[in-house]
Each structure stands twice: as structure tokens, then as C-alpha cells.
Amino acid sequence: MKEKVNIKNVTIVLVSPKYPGNIGSTARCLKNMGIERLSVVCYEKLDIGMMKQMATHVAADIIDNIQYYENLQEALVNFHYIIGTTARLGTKSARQPAISPRDLAIRLVDISRNNSIALVFGPEDRGLTNEELKYCHTLVNIPTSDQFKSVNLSHAVMICCYEMFVASRGYVKRFTPRLATSAEVEAMYEHLKKMFIKVGFINPENPEYWMMCIRRFFQRIHLYSKEVRIVRGICRHVERYVEKQKT
């Protein structure tokens, strides 16, 4: 049996888009590729009329059903697997190695069967920040010519969605159980940070620097809810042990 990405489990998330028309163009791209879910993280009211003008009447329903959020963490709370898009590649700890849209699509054939997927795009002028990328399990980068690396927001969405739409007919069938949600994982990171500070493992003056390395470590694997609970259980036992030593 031929397998493909379950696009019903995919949501496109736009963070602080600058132009309503780009949201409309994105909605049109989603309609072309059979993706129905669009979320927008924004801090001000957007022109719905301009969105629908660019979306055309065919994709107007996607505009009507946009889920709006005040911050990215809130937007991602119920997703099991999160992909961030980036044009900037480097060796900084916050920027893990990025894969191509095609390789991403192949990876999602298995993961998307039982898990909700968020594909996150940053603002047109700067992309996603390191702070925003910390929530992502994987980064994707669209290869471009050295002459001009900038890709229009809706074009970037279309490239990634196209690869997901056509991906992996004929790949070996695998099975990935439901992963831990973003909310569960973030709670684990917060618990780890408190424990590390309590035992003196990290500098309490700059804990996020070290926690970024911890994030990169855990993001190399798929975390299931049971495994997150085990990690937090370990944290609780360590904390209790430390408290006993103080008495």
C-alpha cells in the first residue's frame, strides 16, 4: 500500500505576518494543496477584506476559519511535532541542522499518521527568531540561488506544502505512536530548568543559554508522553533528595 503525508493533520502557522495580502495568498496555496488549517500569531487587527481578495472566493473559507493567537507558545500548545522554517543557517546552538522541504515531507509520511503537525513561518522581513525556533523539533530550509536567497512568504508555504502533498507514494509503511504535545514538552523543560538550578548544574543568572543545549539534545529524538512523565518523575525524585540533604 502506498503511503503519503496525512495532510489533514497539518496546520500552517504564520507568525506576525506584515501584510494581510500574504495571508490571503497563503490561504490560496493551502487550498491548492488540500490543507485546510491556518493559524496566525498576531498583535493587531488584520484587514480581512484584503486577505480574501488575495485568497479568492475558493479559499475564503480558510480565511474565515483562521485561528488567531497572541503568542507562538499558545498557538503550538496542542501540537505533537513542530517544524520551523529558516533562511539562516549556522552553527549557533539555537540553529540545529536544517533539512530540505522534500526530506521533511518524507519524514512526515510516518509522523503525520498519528500526530498533529505545525509548520511555522516567520515574518516576511526577519523570519523566526532563536526564541521562536526553540519550540521546533526540526528546521526546514528552502535551497535557493546565491544571487537571491529571500523567498516570498506564500511561495515558501507553497514549496513546503507541495512537497508534503506529493510526498512518499510507495515508501515503506512504518508506525509512530502519538508524541508528547508541545505543552507537555515545555512543562518538562521548565521542570528540568528548576531542578538544574536547585542542584547547581546551571547558572541561575543565565539558565536559558544552557537550556537551549538541553532542548537540542531532546529534539534529536521523538518524545512520547510516557517518556516526558518519566523525565519529570526523575526531576521530582532528585528535588526530594536535595531537600532531604538540606535537613
Q: Which residue has the cell 526546514?
A: 140
Residue 90 pLDDT class (50, 70, 90 cuts): low
What DSSP assignment string belongs to 30-43? HHHTT--EEEEE-S
Contacting residues for 2 by C-beta, under 8 A, at least 6 apart: 169, 170, 171
How many residues appear in the chain? 247
Question: Residue holding cell 510516557?
Answer: 226
pLDDT tens-digit profile of 130-185?
999 999 999 999 998 888 878 899 999 999 999 988 874 545 455 667 789 999 99
SS3 helix, strand, coil % of the chain, rounded to 5?
50, 15, 40
Q: Where are the domains of the chain?
A: 7-166, 182-246
How high is the pLDDT of residue 93?
42
pLDDT, tens digit, 9 for 90 and up, residues 196-224: 998 888 888 888 888 988 888 888 888 88
Q: Which residues contact 141 (CB under 8 A, 6 or more apart)?
A: 85, 86, 87, 89, 98, 99, 100
Q: Fold for 182-246, please state it.
A: Helicase, Ruva Protein; domain 3 (1.10.8)
Q: Place 3 in a pLDDT band, splitting at 50, 70 and 90.
A: low
Asked if the domains at 7-166 and 182-246 fall in one CATH topology, the answer is no
The predicted model scores a pTM of 0.74
Average pLDDT for 68-94: 85
Among the CATH numbers 3.40.50.150, 1.10.260.40, 2.70.50.60, 3.40.1280.10, which is that of 7-166?
3.40.1280.10
The burial class, CB within 10 Å (0-12 / 13-18 / 19+), for 221 is exposed
- For residues 19-33, give the mean pLDDT: 95
pLDDT of 1: 44
